[in-house]
Structure 1
Amino acid sequence: MEALEAEAKEKGTKYVMGILQRPGQLEKLDQYKLRVIRKKASVETQLKTAMQSQLDGVREGLKLLEVAQNDVKEIKSNMIWVKKSIQNIPDLLKKLQAVKEENMRHSQYETAKHNLKHIFNVPDIVKKTKNWIIEGKLLFAKQSLAELENSRDDLLFELHKLPHTSQADRIMLEMYFEEIGQLSDMIKKQVCLILSRTLNTVRKDPTIIVTALRIIEAEEKADAFHEMRRKQTNFCSAGRPKKWKAMALSVLEEAVSQRIEGTQTDERENHKMWLVRHLELTRLLILEDLRVVKTLCILCFPRSWNIVDTYVRMYHRCLSNHFKEIIQKGLIGNENVSLLSWCLNTYPGPELMSHPELKIDINQYEPLLPESLIDDLQQRYLSDVEANYVEWMKKTLEKEEEDWMKAMPLEDAGYYQSSAPDIVFQIVNQNLEVARTINQKLIDKVLLLSMEQTINFAKLYGEAILQLKNKHFVDRSQNPYYTQHMISIVNNCMQFREFAGRWKSDIRTKETVKVYEKLMQSYLEVRNESVKYLLTEAFRDLYLHFNDLFTPKWLTSSAPVDTICLTFEDYFQDYVHLTTENFEYVISFAQTHVAKCFIYKIMQGKISFGNYEERKEATNKIKTEILQIKSFFHRIAPNVKIDQNFDLIDPLVEIIRVQDPEMLLLDLHELVARFSDITETQLECLLMIRGDLKRSEVRDKVSYILSSRTNQPKDTLIKKSIFSFIGRGNVSMDWDAYWSEYLN
């Protein structure tokens, strides 16, 4: 207490010091004092209230403890009395044994008396019940059967309660009522027959269905009662449980299965579209049946049956099993995709389950076909598509080869082109359209397969074109329209690429992108090779004229170049039937080859000059003829850029013509700096053409010039020009090898 009092004084001192920090606050001292007095009175009141509340709670608790103590004493007294009373029960049981036996006999007599009417009239009741069943009065028959069953079960139950039941009595009683089982089976058969026709009967006379369902519900209640009694008394009623509801559902499902199978009116041998017809009839049947279920059956069946969902599940299971059987028997061709489309799109879509009158969410059920089976169907379809591709592309190629061999000109209108691209891509697009009716996964697979097969066709197409070219040049008279066919082939290749470009919007996977790029490259390569084969005919005709270039004969005649230009102009009259892109590529390819031929012939050095005037005359002739050729190509194809290899000829001509030795070294330096891949042999051949330098001088100049390469950056040294492909060894041999490779 002393500590608390000291603590209180300390807090009070601090409080006073806090409120009396300024002289002006002394004037309010009475107010502060009055405030503290009021606060103290309030706290004291709260303390008294709290103490009073605690005292009241303790007082109430003590009263409750006192009452509980009295209750415990009373219970203990009662328990002692019960214990003493229990000790007398065994003696009481013995005294009441006679009463118990008499009560049991009385119960048996009462049961027998109650069932006397049924016991003595069993044959008549059975006969009457059979007549009712035959007449279709099933409710009367069921009521009569129930009375017989109750009588039999009551009597058997009384036997069961006896401590020493006679098995002979039980057998005799069961035999006496054995016709009850026959009546039950007869009613069951009639109920099954009615339920098997539910969807038809409910439209005409729904009361028949209601009657059958009332009988089933009564039997279900009887099953429940007898099951409860079995658990309580261990007495099993004869023929129970009947489980007629399970039987009814089984009958309904069997009827559904038969209705689905009944829509298959054709076989593959009788009708090619048998499966499509079967699927459409199935769709119409299910749609109409479920309409009936939602509008009529739902009014007849008990709510506990949840008949709409029950029927949907039945149709779902039966369809699944039916389709599995069809798949197991084997599907061919588009039958696989027809079934896939129906299962994945038609069945869950607005044409059936999502129809406005049904609005059934099929996602709450298991898939109609398992994923593994869907994948298997897709794989079968892809295998059929692949086989069809191989067959059709083979036929298309054979048709192309037949057309190539026909001695008939192509139609002289517009661009030459065969039907091969249209046929191939029509087949591909048909398969893609079919795949689009399934899902994106199948579209990706079909597109990938289609592109792979189209790439294979490009390979076969290229091989066939090579055979055509080789066969033609054995005897050119056999195929007078070779040029027209090659023009058609070149156009076909680009047509293939154009058609393939339309698939780009369907490409979604990295694998497909790679195959697409390979496809485009494949037909570009075939096109390029075909252009080479196309120009081979012209260059074969011009070989001798190219061979005459830069020879003594050439110095005095313009015939070689004039013939080259005239021959090309003649061939280019046919080349106008190339598409613009292909025509420009042909012109570009021809330019490159002509430029290479000029450079080859210059480097061959078959003419040698004795003085500057001869070199000047020859180099002027070279420039004139190069200009003539460039002008010719520009006139034929003004939009095609002149091949840069023609520009390479000018520095070569300058090296041959230049007179000043210092300028010669400067020109050589420029040539080596510009074309870092030029070789020592090529430079020596070029300098020897001049005729004014000895071989030793040529070697010294070349060695000096080439020494400058060591100071050049590496990236300059690896650049390739035409010098990387011509005249790196013996130039004459390279010329023959070049023409041999090109023409053969």
Structure 2
Amino acid sequence: MGMSAEDEHTVSPKDEEWPEAEKAEKLARGAALKWASGVFYRPEKLEALGQYRSRETQRNSSIQSRLKSTVQSYLEGVSTGLEQLRLAAEEVQNVCQDLGAARWALLDSADYFQVLQQMRALMAEHVQLASVVKVLPQLFSVHEVFSHTLQLLHEQHLLEAHAELMMLEHLRDDILFQLHLRGLSSAQATVLSYFSGLQELNESLAKQLWGIVGRSLQLVREDPVLFVSAVRIIEREEKIDDALLLDATFLPPGRPKGWRQKFYHVFQETITGSHFHPACVDTTGPGLSRHLAALQRDVVAELHVVKDLMVQCVPAHYNILSICTAMYHQALTSHLQDILQEDLDKQALFLLLEWVLHVYHSPEMMSHPGLLPEVDVSALGPLISPDLVDQTERKYVVKLKASMLEWMQRTLEVEFKEWFREEEPEADHQGFFQSALPVIIMQMLHENIRVASLITGSLQQKVYSMAMEELEAFLGRLREALVQCGKEHQKDRTVPKYYVPYLLAVLNNNLALSSSVPSLHLDTAHSEVPVSLRAALDRTQRKACQLLLEELLLDLQPLCTQLPSRKWLSGSQVVSSMCEVIDKYAKDFSHVRKPIFMLLLMESERLVTSQYLWALMQKKMVCRTEEERGQLCDRLLQDATQLRELFHGLGLDKSQQSLEAVFALRELICLKDPALLSLEVLGFITKYPDISDEHVSTLLDLRGDVSKEVRHMVLEMMAQHPQALPESYQPIFSIIVVPAPELPFCLRKGKCA
């Protein structure tokens, strides 16, 4: 099993050339030793040593035999390959010898090829002459065929005429192609001149075809044969065009004709020319309405003809219904854009918006049951762009604004004239004065906003915003009219005769407008009166109230000038007369609704208070004795009580009255000890912080018993305790003007030395 030491050292030169073999042998020996040491590590295993030796000997013999068989097979394959290579080399050498011989044979035959070239030229010329002879009958008959084809065209035998035309063109084009192949371009002009009649035939045929296409909508209803013939001819020409373009080696003159594209072009021109002439359209409201109605009727009718009849007369790949629908859509788009360039009135603008946004897509037009589902304009985009719709809406609002302004102005003029009527304004069932102005204004605004909502929400919002602005402007003009009426009344208080009732009617109207404005917005749940409009309504209300109070003031002033006086102290009926005036006006005020009535009552009471206080501070009387001061206190108590009870009886709670200032002022007059005036005035200015030094000084003068020291002390105390007006304080004294003190005569004249 192993090798001896001698064997290991006896290594052949061949083994030295294969170090890998030596390495493999060493590895095999090592593996064998490892195996043997594992098997025979016990003595009893040595008994089976002979069996192992015998088995390993047989195994080695088997491996050697297989190795010999493999090597033998490999050597046989190598031998076969070498034999095949030898045979291939012999065959290649034979081929080379044959090629050399052929080369020498060809070189010897070069002179004979020149003779063959001449024969080839003669053969080509013979073929050409044969081709010419073959087509000579056709060439001689060309002009006769021209005449016959023209006759066929005049008789509208289109298919036969077109067949002859194609034959002539084929003959011409074949001749031109042959010339083109041989580079004889100079001869092409002669051929074209000879076939010049083809141009006339083409033009004559095309003229008839486009005339037929122009009348196609009529022909498919009456006699579709002619139209079908025209379409067949167009398709023949398209096939010829396609074949020539596909070859692309030679393109005859006049090709490609592109008659199918021309068919669409003529068809579109027919559609555009038959209905869409903006220069001939009456753009006024009624005229445009008739035009749009005619468009609606004609477009629907013609699309029905295309869908029901024309589709059957043209190939399916024409997609004629969809293309026709797109043509009408595009033509309408251009037509409407042209119309919108004109200076349209508001009715015309409204009609266009309604037609574009609603009628066009309605079941009465493009969504007609007879056209669906084949006709679908939804994929064609809007008839006019959103920007143009917005621009048109703005134009409509501008026109509507001008109309609304004019209409409101006339309404105001009528209202102004009614103020000067010789009869009271109308009254409702509750006796409140009113006029038709709020109803007229609100109906007009509401109707215009409602009509705009039928178009789009954006137009409704635009009209609503414009209506709010115009109503605000109208209220401004109404105030100007009130001022003008007031000026007329100041000149002559008998004009207008029913000045106060009409002012009350204006207040009721203003209140009605204020309560009705929220209803103008269609979303009444979220509608609010715009701030600027609310301010305009408030200003109108204040202006009417101011004029009423000025009227009341004119009647009160003559009475207020009678006090204070000693006649008044002794029991004058001045305040009773004032109460009569107030009661009279209160009865007039009862014709205005309660919120305004209470406002007028409160303002009237404040006016009476301020006038009463103003009269006391005009320095027309000074109490000379204690008795007069007592009479003044009694008179102030009686007057203030009488006035307070009057207003309380009219519905004005005592806590809402400002007459309390008269009672507080009375306390200053009734104070027995002038030295205590500082404390009393401090309480007074705390309650009425808008009273000034001049007011207090005048009241001290009215007492007649205040020394300069006390006066100085009181005024000094006021200077030390300046008062700030509370936010909710209603001024009383600040609106009362105290007359300036009389200056010494020398200062008045400016001559004191």
* TM-score bracket relative to the smaller structure: 0.7 to 0.9
1:387 equivalent in structure 2: 402
Equivalent residues in 2 for 1:591-740, closer than 5 Å: 591-604=605-618, 606-609=620-623, 614-636=628-650, 638=651, 643-659=656-672, 664-709=677-722, 721-727=731-737, 730=740
Instruction: Give the CA RMSD over aligned residues.
Output: 4.0
- For residue 213 of structure 2, the aligned residue among 179, 192, 195 is 195
Write the deviation string for residues 682-702 of structure 1: whole angstroms up to 9, x where unpaired: 222233333342232122133
Deviates more, 1:124-133 or 1:593-602: 124-133
Q: Corresponding residue for 1:739? A: none
Q: Is residue 237 from structure 1 mapped to residue 219 from structure 2 by the alignment?
A: no
Describe how 1:365-380 pairs up with structure 2 within 5 A: 365=380, 367-370=382-385, 373-380=388-395
Once the two structures are superposed, the pairs formed by residues 297-696 of structure 1 within 5 Å of their partners are 297-356=310-369, 357-358=371-372, 362=377, 364-365=379-380, 367-370=382-385, 373-411=388-426, 413=428, 414-504=431-521, 516-604=530-618, 606-609=620-623, 614-636=628-650, 638=651, 643-659=656-672, 664-696=677-709
1:196 offset after TM fit, Å? 1.5
Shift of 1:719: 6.2
Matches within 5 A, 1:169-318: 170-229=188-247, 231-232=248-249, 235-261=250-276, 267=282, 273-318=286-331
Contact 1:500 1:520 in 2 (8 A): no
For 1:225 and 1:86, how far apart are their aligned partners in 2?
46
Contact 2:668 2:681 in 1 (8 A): yes
**Whole-Å Cα distance in 2 between the matches of residues 560 and 508 of structure 1?**
54
CA distance in 1, matches of 2:567, 2:613: 18
Counterpart of 1:258 in 2: which secondary structure?
Answer: helix
Aligned pair count reads 643
Contact 1:676 1:720 in 2 (8 A): no
| Superposition deviation, residue 133 in structure 1 | 3.0
Give unpaired runs (5+ residues) of structure 1: 1-65, 734-744
- Are the equivalent residues in 1 in contact too, given 2:424–2:498 (CA < 8 A)? yes
- Matches of 1:107 and 1:329 in 2, distance apart? 72
Question: What is the aligned partner in structure 1 of residue 184 from structure 2?
Answer: 164
- Gaps spanning 5+ residues in structure 2: where? 1-80, 744-753
Q: Say which SS state the counterpart of residue 432 (structure 2) adopts.
A: coil
* Structure 1 Cα separation of the partners of residues 113 and 594 of structure 2: 121
Return the alpha-carbon distance in structure 2 between the equivalents of residues 114 and 388 of structure 1.
Answer: 86
Q: 1: CA distance between counterparts of 2:585 and 2:706?
A: 43
Q: Counterpart amino acid of 1:211?
A: S
User: Is the CA contact 2:425–2:435 (under 8 Å) kept in the aligned structure 1?
Assistant: no
Q: Secondary structure of the equivalent of 1:502?
A: helix
Q: Structure 2: which amino acid aligns with 1:497?
A: S
Moved more, 646-655 or 412-421: 412-421
Q: Is 1:148 aligned to 2:168, yes or no?
A: yes
> Which TM-score applies when normalising by structure 2?
0.75
* 1:722 CA drift (Å): 1.8
Within 2, Cα distance between the matches of 1:483 and 1:366?
Answer: 62
Q: Is the 2:278–2:338 contact (alpha carbons within 8 Å) kept by the matching residues of 1?
A: no
> Tell me, what secondary structure is at the counterpart of 1:316?
helix
Does the 8 Å contact 2:421/2:497 carry over to 1?
no
1:25-104 correspondence to structure 2 within 5 Å: 97-98=117-118, 101=121, 104=124
Residues 593-642 of structure 1, C-alpha deviations (whole Å, 9 max, x = no match) = 11222232344454444566654543344333333323323333x37786
SS at match of 2:559: helix
Whole-angstrom CA distance in 2 between matches of 1:128 and 1:552? 135
Query: Given the superposition, is the C-alpha separation of residues 646 and 122 from structure 1 closer, same or farther in structure 2, using an over 3 Å criterion?
Result: same
Q: How far off its partner does 1:282 sit?
A: 1.0
Q: Which residue identity does 1:397 align to in structure 2?
A: L
Paired residue type of 1:455? E
**SS of equivalent residue, structure 1 residue 567:** helix
Alignment partner, residue 7 of structure 1: none
Contact 1:416 1:491 in 2 (8 A): yes
SS in 1 for 2:276: helix
Q: Deviations over 1:55-111 (max 9, x none)?
A: xxxxxxxxxxx9xxx9xx99xx9xx99x9999999x899776556645644654565
> Compared with structure 1, are the counterparts of its residues 263 and 571 closer, same or farther at alpha carbon in structure 2 (3 Å cutoff)?
same
Structure 1 residues 435, 686: closer, same or farther in 2, change over 3 A? same
Q: Distance in 1 between matches of 2:210 and 2:483?
A: 76
Percent of aligned pairs sharing the same letter: 28
The offset of 1:363, in angstroms, is: 5.3
User: Do 2:510 and 2:541's aligned partners in 1 also have CA atoms closer than 8 Å?
Assistant: yes
SS in 1 for 2:683: helix
Q: Hey, what does 2:37 align to over in structure 1? A: none
Question: For residues 729 and 287 of structure 1, do their structure 2 counterparts lie closer, same or farther at Cα, with a shift above 3 Å needed?
Answer: farther
Please report how far the alpha carbon of residue 660 of structure 1 lies from its aligned counterpart in structure 2 after TM superposition.
5.6
Distance in 1, matches of 2:261 and 2:314, equals: 14
Once the 2 structures are TM-superposed, how far is the Cα of residue 562 of structure 1 from its aligned partner?
A: 1.6
Q: Which moved more, 1:388-397 or 1:660-669?
A: 660-669
Distance 1:660 1:343 in 2: 90
Structure 1 pair 223–540 and aligned structure 2 pair: CA distance change class (3 A): same
After superposing the two structures, state which structure 1 stretch, 236-245 or 171-180, moved more.
Answer: 171-180
CA deviation string 1:686-737 (max 9, x = no partner): 333333422321221332354244xx8x68699673233324674999xxxx
* C-alpha contact (below 8 Å) 1:619/1:657 kept by paired residues: yes
Return 420-429 or 548-557, whichever deviates more: 420-429
Q: Report if the CA contact (8 A) 1:386-1:453 is conserved.
A: yes
Shift of 1:373: 4.4
Whole-angstrom CA distance in 1 between matches of 2:712 and 2:197: 129
Out of 119, 122, 131, the residue aligned to residue 142 of structure 2 is: 122
Whole-Å Cα distance in 2 between the matches of residues 220 and 591 of structure 1? 99
Give 1:469 shift: 0.9
Greater CA drift, 98-107 or 411-420:
98-107
Q: Is the 8 A contact 1:633 1:642 kept in 2?
A: no
> Distance between the aligned counterparts of 2:590 and 2:741, measured in 1?
36
Shift of the 583–111 alpha-carbon distance from structure 1 to 2, 3 Å rule, reads farther
Aligned-partner Cα distance in 2 for 1:303–1:658: 115
Residue 226 of structure 1 aligns with an amino acid whose one-letter code is: L
Tell me the secondary structure at the aligned position of residue 241 of structure 1.
Answer: coil
Task: Judge conservation of contact 1:139–1:211 (CA < 8 Å) in 2.
Answer: yes
Instruction: Provide the rounded CA distance (Å) in 1 between the counterparts of 2:120 and 2:382.
Output: 64
Per-residue deviation, residues 262-292 of structure 1 (Å, max 9, x unmatched): 7998736xx7500011112212222333333
| 1:131-155 Cα distance to aligned partner (Å, 9 max, x none) | 4434433222222221221112112
